Chain A
Amino acid sequence: DQQVKQNSPSLSVQEGRISILNCDYTNSMFDYFLWYKKYPAEGPTFLISISSIKDKNEDGRFTVFLNKSAKHLSLHIVPSQPGDSAVYFCAASLGGGADGLTFGKGTHLIIQP
Chain B
Amino acid sequence: GAGVSQSPRYKVAKRGQDVALRCDPISGHVSLFWYQQALGQGPEFLTYFQNEAQLDKSGLPSDRFFAERPEGSVSTLKIQRTQQEDSAVYLCASSLQLGTATYYGYTFGSGTRLTVV
Q: Which residues of chain A have a CB within 8 Å of any CB of chain B?
A: 4, 6, 31-32, 34, 36, 41-47, 49, 51, 89, 91, 93, 96-106
Contacts and interface: CB of A to CB of B under 8 A. Distances in A.
Interface of B: 4, 31, 33, 35, 40-45, 48, 55-56, 59, 91, 93, 95, 98-99, 101-111
Q: Is the interface of B mostly helix, strand, loop or mixed?
A: mixed
Nearest to B103: A49
Contact of B106 (A31, A46, A106): A46
Contacts of A32: 102
Nearest to A106: B42
A91 B37 CA distance: 14
B73 to A, nearest CB: 18
A44 B43 CA distance: 9
Contacts of B4: 43
Contacts of B104: 46, 49
B2 to A, nearest CB: 13
Contacts of B93: 43
A47 B107 CA distance: 11
Contacts of B111: 43
Interface centre among B31, B43, B56, B104 (most CB of A within 10 A): B43
A31 B101 CA distance: 12
Nearest to A39: B110
Contact of B59 (A6, A34, A96, A100): A100
A93 B98 CA distance: 12
Contacts of B44: 103
A29 B79 CA distance: 32
Contact of A45 (B33, B35, B95, B108): B108
A46 B33 CA distance: 15
A36 B56 contact: no
A97 B42 contact: no
A97 B106 CA distance: 9
